[in-house]
Amino acid sequence: MENLALIESFSEFKDDKLIDRVTLMAILEEVFRNTLKRKFGTDDNFDIIINPDKGDLEIWRNRIVVKDGEVEDENEEIELTEARKIEPDFEVGEDVSEEVKLSDLGRRSILSLRQNLIARIHEHDNTIIYKQFIELVGEIYTAEVHHVRNRVVILIDDDGNEIILPKDRQIPSDFFRKGDSVRGVIESVELKGAKPSIVLSRTDPKFLEKLFEQEIPEVFDGLITVKKVVRVPGEKAKVAVDSYDDRIDPVGACVGMKGSRIHGIVRELGNENIDVINFTNNNQLMITRALSPAKITNMTIDEEKKTVEVFMDPSEVSKAIGRGGFNIRLAGQLTGYEIDVYREGAEEDVELTEFSDEIESWVIEEFRKVGLDTAKSVLEQEVSDLVKRTDLEEETIVEVRNILSAEFSS
């Protein structure tokens, strides 16, 4: 049967698609009915019979027998003479059912039918893929690099689904080649047209949280809870953890002996510096822990404005601020407070900006980036340490120190 042969040829789509045979048959009926509407103007007088077990499909057109020469609608009426060619004992007024062969539809209609079927199956697949991935938002997913472009990396998973990793969702130190396996979290899934757009992220704090779940058994089992994650991707992160079991040290369990447990996470994130902190509802204690390794001598909290003034020895300020200001920025994000750091006993100190007539502004800015914004804060550091912490040449640092020293020796 030619209809059956065509159905079997259409079924080739089923093998490589996320579609079962029954659904395929339902799509087939819809596509055939649309084809009939376009060719005959309506599909109301057509019966489409599908046998999903055999993959069989039959199309029957129902018409009323009228006297010869009185046909007004060829689709719904048939002359008596023509009807008796089908069955010799038909009479006027009776219903005639006649099977429609695919050849009756015409070559153009069959080609259009096939194209529409392919489009509907792709649309069905895309809907399934969208539903599949929308449930994976926020979860870790692994795919393989298929193509590297300037602003995006195209990934393909084991099922052939395309996933995109935009440049701004990559860790700055990330470098990928075709065939590399890449992990990240599914950040978003959108239907753009009929095609799902799946975005992977390696910069989302959720990625670090999920890595803790994967790599640390106590987090996976729920014995330790990750309360909050903040990060500057590829540079620094702070993770607040808690345990409802007093026998478990959440920080120790997450870090492991000599950092053994967290080492794999650090490596995955391009050697991102990760501070694991014991969570507490005591705001003052939480701020103190968040600013670690700096030691605080005193603080004043304004709960209404969500600000805090932190006082510490001048030698501790650079630790609190951290390289590039990352430590104090992340401490603020972790605690929810805007943190201002003040030096105790630093009344006689001088702001670096006071030396702008002798020191170039970009040099001052380099010191400020690492938390050194006064003369004494720079002089308290070893030259070798300043070379490591800043992008300045040793010669420039020595020259700056000489200028600053002259201020206090005069």
pLDDT tens-digit series, residues 270-291: 999 999 999 999 999 999 999 9
171 and 245 co-located in one domain? no
Question: Distance between CA 326 and CA 203 in Å, rounded?
Answer: 15
Boundaries of domain holding 148: 136-201
pLDDT confidence of residue 211:
96
Which pair of structure tokens corresponds to residue 170?
């990559």
In a domain, 289, yes or no: no
390 and 366 co-located in one domain? yes
In a domain, 340, yes or no: no
152 and 117 co-located in one domain? no
| Burial 176-196, CB ≥16 within 10 A → b, else e | beeeeebebbbbebeeeeeeb
In this prediction, what percent of the chain has a pLDDT beyond 90? Answer: 42
Nearest Cα residue to 53 out of 102, 11, 106, 6: 11
pLDDT band at 174 (very low <50, low <70, confident <90, very high): very high
Contact present, 41 and 33 (Cβ < 8 Å): no
54 and 93 co-located in one domain? yes
Final residue belonging to a domain, choices 103, 131, 159: 131
Domain count, the chain: 4
CATH number where 148 lies: 2.40.50.140
Nearest Cα residue to 376 out of 356, 348, 342, 355: 348
170 and 154 co-located in one domain? yes
What is the average per-residue pLDDT within 179-191?
A: 93
CA 183 vs CA 202, 236, 354: distances in Å: 7, 19, 48
21 and 119 co-located in one domain? yes
In a domain, 64, yes or no: yes
pLDDT tens-digit series, residues 144-165: 999 999 899 999 998 888 999 9
What is the average per-residue pLDDT within 303-312?
A: 91
pLDDT confidence of residue 335:
95
51 and 121 co-located in one domain? yes
Final residue belonging to a domain, choices 201, 231, 247: 201
CATH number where 404 lies: 1.10.150
What is the average per-residue pLDDT within 49-54?
A: 65
In a domain, 316, yes or no: no
pLDDT tens-digit series, residues 108-118: 766 766 777 76
In a domain, 293, yes or no: no
pLDDT tens-digit series, residues 321-361: 888 789 999 999 999 999 988 877 655 677 888 788 788 98
20 and 80 co-located in one domain? yes
pLDDT band at 22 (very low <50, low <70, confident <90, very high): low
Least reliable range by pLDDT among 95-99, 152-156, 405-409: 405-409
Q: What is the pTM of this model?
A: 0.63
31 and 123 co-located in one domain? yes
CATH number where 249 lies: 3.30.300.20
Mean of all residue pLDDT scores within the chain: 85
Final residue belonging to a domain, choices 279, 299, 316: 279
DSSP result, 218-249: HHHTTSEEEEEEEEETTTEEEEEEEES-TT--
Beta bridge partners of 182: 143
238 and 182 co-located in one domain? no
CATH number where 21 lies: 3.30.1480
Question: Distance between CA 36 and CA 264 in Å, rounded?
Answer: 61
Which pair of structure tokens corresponds to residue 136?
């994976």
